[in-house]
Structure 1
């Protein structure tokens, strides 16, 4: 994602539980726009990396439009 214009704002495993069950690891990536995030997700490079992780990593990805 960073190779496609994203900036990592936070990442790691030191996640404090406030409400709900946190993931083991999380990454928050900022993009210039929703379209830029979708373009990064659909890029050949990300799709190839995603394919290598199939069956070994559970992922949840969300795009949240900022104000």
Structure 2
């Protein structure tokens, strides 16, 4: 083993999906970006399946958000 790193687990389902350091770095770099304001920044801490479910559930709750995709 050369380099072992802690895995980041999805906020929704708990599945390990990426290195925790990568998620922390992305969150830090993107927190000021306009596309990651509000609840969108927490999607970085979700696996690919839960991220898609979260985006579509937001659109179902507020159809006008579809115009922003």
How would you bin the TM-score normalised by the shorter chain? 0.3 to 0.5
User: Which structure: greater strand fraction?
Assistant: 1
Larger gyration radius, structure 1 or structure 2: 2
Q: TM-score, with normalisation over the residues of structure 2?
A: 0.32
User: Which structure: greater helix fraction?
Assistant: 2
User: Which structure has more RCO (C-alpha within 8 Å, separation ≥ 6)?
Assistant: 1
